């Protein structure tokens, strides 16, 4: 995903108010539970002379509805219209 740590810390709390973050594990945990989101260490995608920031995002679902969580996530992280 083309995003920065700053994007996640800015947008994820808007999508999921009360979400917590553990910097040691790079894991976001929502207040209501049921799923977690793990972030990779920041990387870059080299594109000619430009380096685009990237992160790998991994959802782990326990009891939450995956389609509802991902739909809400995508609404807040959508870039470029749609």
pLDDT tens, residue by residue, 23-44: 999 999 999 899 999 999 888 8
The answer as to whether 45 is a domain residue is yes
Cα→Cα distances 74→1, 69, 78, 80, Å: 11, 9, 6, 12
- Report pLDDT for 82: 46
pTM of the model as a whole: 0.81
- Report pLDDT for 80: 61
Structural domain count of the chain: 1
- For the chain, residues with pLDDT lower than 70 are 1-2, 80-82
For residue 81, give the 3-state DSSP assignment.
Answer: coil
The answer as to whether 82 is a domain residue is no
Element (DSSP H or E) covering residue 77: helix 66-77
Q: How many CB atoms lie within 10 A of CB 64?
A: 17
Q: What's the domain range around 55?
A: 5-77
């Amino acid at each position: 995903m083309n995003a920065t740590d700053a994007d996640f810390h800015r947008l994820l709390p808007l999508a999921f108010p009360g979400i917590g973050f553990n910097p040691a594990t790079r894991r976001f945990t929502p207040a209501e539970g049921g799923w977690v989101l793990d972030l990779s260490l920041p990387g870059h995608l080299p594109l000619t002379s430009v380096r685009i920031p990237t992160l790998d995002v991994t959802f782990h679902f326990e009891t939450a509805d995956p389609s509802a969580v991902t739909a809400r996530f995508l609404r807040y992280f959508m870039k470029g219209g749609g």
